[in-house]
Amino acid sequence: MWKLLSIHAKNLCAFRELHYKLFQGVTTLIFGNNLDNDSQKSNGSGKSALVEAVALGITGAPLRRIKNEEIINDMAEQCMVTLHLQNDTSNEELYIERHISRKGPAVVECSLFRNGVSVNTGEAVHPTVDAYNKYILNKLGITKDELYNNFILSRHKYQDFLSSSDKDKKEIINRFSNAILVDKAIEKLIEDKLPIESKLREAELTLAGIDGRIGLLTEQIKKEESLLEEKQQTKAEHIRGIHDSINEKRTSIRQKREEIELVCQAVSLLEIADKQVQELENSELPMEECLMKLKSMLTPHIEQALTSWDEVILQKKNEIKVQEENLNKWNEAIEKAETEIMQRKAAYTKLQNEFKGFCEKYPEKVLQYDLQLKELNTRIEQLTENSELLKKERRTILTAIENIKAKLTGIITCPACQYEFLLSDDDYDIPTARKELEENEFHNKSIIRELDIYHQDIEDMERTEGNLKGEKRTLIGQHTQWNDQMTDLETLVNQATQKSENLHANRKRVSDAITFIQEDIRTILRRVFDEAFERIDDSYHIKEKKKNNLEQDIVAANNAISLLEGMLSDMDRMSDSDVTLSLKKSLKEYRKQSSETLNIKNGFEKRLQKFEEQSQLFLQFKSYLANTKIEALSKVTNEFLESIDSDIRVKFSGYTILKSGKVREKISVSLLRNGIDCGSFDKFSEGEKARVNLANILAMNKLVNSSAEDGKGMDLLILDEILAAVDENGLACIFLALNRVAITSLVISHGNIAENYPHTLIINKHNGQSFIHEDN
């Protein structure tokens, strides 16, 4: 693809010298600053001269409707423009230099470099300016119209695709899709068909004449044989009967010629109606008015009545009414469901907040319970351990007490001196033993008291432990209850949400049904005209067939007259039996001719059928090519509209093949907002139209480049005040999208863009001279 690298000009418009190197892959905004006249601000600063330089360099003519010499600076006699282009695919560089003089002829010179080496084969050298112009456009791979409508767009030359006539739309699409080549093939096919159709017509007329003679001969032979048998009719009466037959045939011929005249008049009226219908289709009349006019235009001229589209539309509108009632029901149900969701979510949120407050203290409380229980358990274990030690000690003391008591039971007291002793142990110290017994019993009582205290403490602690465990279980139970409540409410919220989603799905289903019906109604008008043109084509064929049949009848009648006149001549010089034999002989010859002519006719019909089949294939292929490009145009246009956050979408309706096999080359453009048809293109604001046009321009630019030969096309888009109606925010979105697709663009603006936009070029004018200053 070719890139424009730089522009150099001398004495062009208000510039004495102009050097500019384009920033590739970005959108550069060009501002103007007229320092000679503050009231004009950017007007008259020389912004458009940059665009004129590109247009002049490529085409040799300015964009504005002026003479070439008028683009020369007022202080000079000639101007010069040099463009430097580069093609990375073919590794070529092209220099275009043009000189425009007030007095002399224009001069152009091209220099071509391939792989960095100058091409000296004469490829870039041509004898005339026109030849150079054709060479340059051919080298770039675009036409002059494509350049002005898709690459260098100025209000002086640009005609937007969406507002162009149906004829212009078809020409553009056919050029994109190469359907022009198919048209050439179809023209050649029609050219080849014409002699076959002519010969077939001759064969049909010849066969009709022969069949007419055969029918008449057969009838006359029967009459002659009947006369021979009955002998009831005189020769004079026979001759009179033949004259009557001739007169009848001549009367029939006059009537059929009058019928042919009526058919021709009907065809003329049908042609007028056909043109009126075409004009009606291109009008912007409402559907109801179109239907009414169409019916009045066609009803007198077509054989088969039009569909009662009023009833169809009424039925569709009734369907929409039913669906809208359903939609209202779903909306009410959704509103209730949304309220229910909000209530349940509010309850859930409230409970969640309360639960959150509970949960903030819950771990700490559980930990406190666990610590207290652990401490109690430790203390209980300690008390139990101490208690066991005391019990062990008490058992030891009790054993000692029992042993002492057992010893003391064996005490013997001397009656005389009251001395106490044990027989088994004289040395046993009884007083000491009694003292030890008292001490042990005292100690035992102390232990019992201490054990009671331990038991009481343990019981108190176990009671406290039980209380703590109960409180902990209560706390855990509360936590579980909170969780259950949260789960229950969450389930209710989910159920309400699911219900709402189901309701939304049902509403979408109904809404889609309404959109589908509305789309169906929107396409009814196209279907109406499709049917209208089918009816017109059918009527043409019926009238043509009727005319052909009448002409065949006339030929047959003329042949019958010739035959009857021949019979009158034969009757003057032949006997009745000879006349019959002559008639039979003629019948045999005509039957032979009929068979031969029928074979010839069938041969022509087969050849014509093959032509028709080929024609259908070409038409279908042409329709496929065109519709492929139309779909691509729609897709790319809508992708860009989406990228600049526009809610408008463009829908193109492409070529259709009628039941008759004829291709309807009608390209309809509809603008949709949120999927709903929102009227014709011209009803939109200038800003909205500018956005849609730009999206279409980019799509056309892409299609032109994709349709160009390998390596050709241009990575360039110049917009001279095409976006003047778009506001600052809209331009920001557009420039962002343009930079995203990385197309090298120059946009002339009056400054309604954010100051921080990075890619700008300022053109100043001072003391009558323009000069550029890059502000990047």
What pLDDT is stored for residue 658 in this prediction?
62
719 Cα distance to chain centroid: 26
Q: 3-state secondary structure string, 139-154?
A: HHCCCHHHHHHHCEEE
Closest-CA residue to 340 (of 477, 158, 496): 496
Kindly state the average pLDDT of the residues 325-347.
89
Residue 755 in this model has a pLDDT that exceeds 70: no
Residues 190-213 pLDDT 10s: 787 788 777 877 777 777 777 766
User: What is the end-to-end Cα distance of the chain in Å, rounded?
Assistant: 26
Range in 19-23, 145-149, 500-504 with the lowest mean pLDDT? 145-149
Q: Measure CA 58 to chain center.
A: 35
Q: If you average pLDDT over residues 163-180, what whole number do you get?
A: 71
Q: Does the pLDDT at position 140 exceed 80?
A: yes
Instruction: Express each pLDDT in 546-565 by its tens digit.
Output: 888 888 788 777 777 777 77
Can you tell me which residue has the tokens 């009545």?
Answer: 305
Q: Is the pLDDT of residue 82 over 90?
A: yes
For residues 151 and 701, the answer to whether their CB atoms sit within 8 Å is yes
Q: Which position has the higher pLDDT, 236 or 101? A: 101
Residue 775's pLDDT band (cuts 50, 70, 90): low
The predicted pLDDT at position 776 comes to 46
Whether residue 537 contacts residue 190, with contact meaning beta carbons closer than 8 Å, is answered with: no
Percentage above 90 pLDDT, the chain: 7
Task: State phi, psi for 155 to the nearest 5 degrees.
Answer: -65, -15
Question: Cβ(337)–Cβ(503) under 8 Å?
Answer: yes
Name the architecture of domain 311-524: Orthogonal Bundle (1.10)
Mean pLDDT for 496-519 is: 85
pLDDT mean across residues, the chain: 80
Band the pLDDT of 674: cuts 50, 70, 90: low
Give pLDDT, residue 94: 92
Rounded CA-CA distance 324/726 in Å is: 36
- The residue written with tokens 């279907």 in the block is 527
Can you read off the two tokens belonging to residue 15?
């510039």
Does residue 39 surpass a pLDDT of 80? Answer: no
Q: What span, in angstroms and rounded, lies between the C-alpha atoms of 297 and 276?
A: 8
Alpha-carbon Rg for the chain, nearest whole angstrom, is: 55
- 610-626 pLDDT, tens digit each: 877 777 777 777 777 77
pLDDT on residue 577: 55
Residue with tokens 């809508």: 638
Average pLDDT for residues 139-163, to the nearest whole number?
80
**Beta 769-774 vs 760-766: how paired, if at all?**
antiparallel
What's the mean pLDDT in 432-448?
A: 84
- Coil, strand or helix at 644: coil
Residue 581 has pLDDT above 50, yes or no: yes
Sorting pLDDT into bands at 50, 70 and 90, what band is 230?
very low
Handedness of CA 339, 345, 346, 347 (dihedral sign): positive
pLDDT of residue 134: 92
pLDDT confidence of residue 583: 64
- Output the CATH code of domain 2-142+708-773: 3.40.50.300
Residue-level pLDDT at 232: 44
Q: What is the pTM of this model?
A: 0.56
- In this prediction, residue 238 has a pLDDT band, given cuts at 50, 70 and 90, of low
* pLDDT for 157: 67
| pLDDT at 661 (0 to 100) | 59
Alpha-carbon span 526 to 653, nearest angstrom: 9
At 228 the pLDDT is 53
As a whole number, mean pLDDT of residues 370-388 equals: 86
Distance (Å, rounded) from C-alpha 532 to C-alpha 280?
11
CB 182 within 8 A of CB 616: no
**Considering only CA atoms, which of 82, 143, 87 is closest in space to residue 116?**
87
Q: What is the rounded CA–CA span in Å between residue 730 and residue 185?
A: 46
Q: Give the residue extent of every domain in the chain.
A: 2-142+708-773, 191-303+539-608, 311-524
pLDDT, residue 665, reads 66
Which residue did the predictor score with more confidence, 664 or 147?
Answer: 147
pLDDT at 552: 77
Q: How confident is the model at residue 225 (pLDDT cuts 50, 70, 90)?
A: low
Structure confidence at residue 648 as a pLDDT band (50, 70, 90) = confident
Both tokens assigned to 556: 């047959």
What tokens does 656 get?
């259709």
The 10s digit of each residue's pLDDT in 103-128 is 888 899 999 998 988 888 888 889 99
**Chain CA centroid to CA 589, Å:** 68
Q: Is the pLDDT of residue 231 over 50?
A: no
| Residue 33, H or E segment | strand 27-34
